[in-house]
Amino acid sequence: MKPPNKHLIALINYIALVPLVYFIPQWLGPFLPANQLLQVCIIVAVIVPIISYVVMPVTMKILHRKSKT
C-alpha cells in the first residue's frame, strides 16, 4: 500500500483544526480557570485527542478505501 500524500494529510489536518481551535475555547472558556497557561493546556488536551483518535483514523480509512478503487 502506498502512503498517502503528505500535503493532503497536512491540508486535512488544517481543515479539521480550524473549527476545533475556533469553537472549543469558546465552549470550554466558562468552565476553565483564570490562568491562561492552564486554559491553553486544557484546550490542547481536548483538541489533540480529537485529531489523533477521530479525525486522522477516519481520514486514513477513507484514503485507503479510495486508493483501492
Domain range list for the chain: 6-68
- Give the closest residue to 27 by CA, choosing from 40, 15, 43: 43
The model's pLDDT over 2-41, given as tens digits with 9 standing for 90+, comes to 888 999 999 999 999 999 999 999 999 999 999 999 999 9
For 9, 37, 54, 68, the CA distances from 5, given in Å and listed in that order, are 6, 35, 19, 15
pTM of the model: 0.87
Which band of pLDDT confidence, cut at 50, 70 and 90, is reported for residue 45? very high
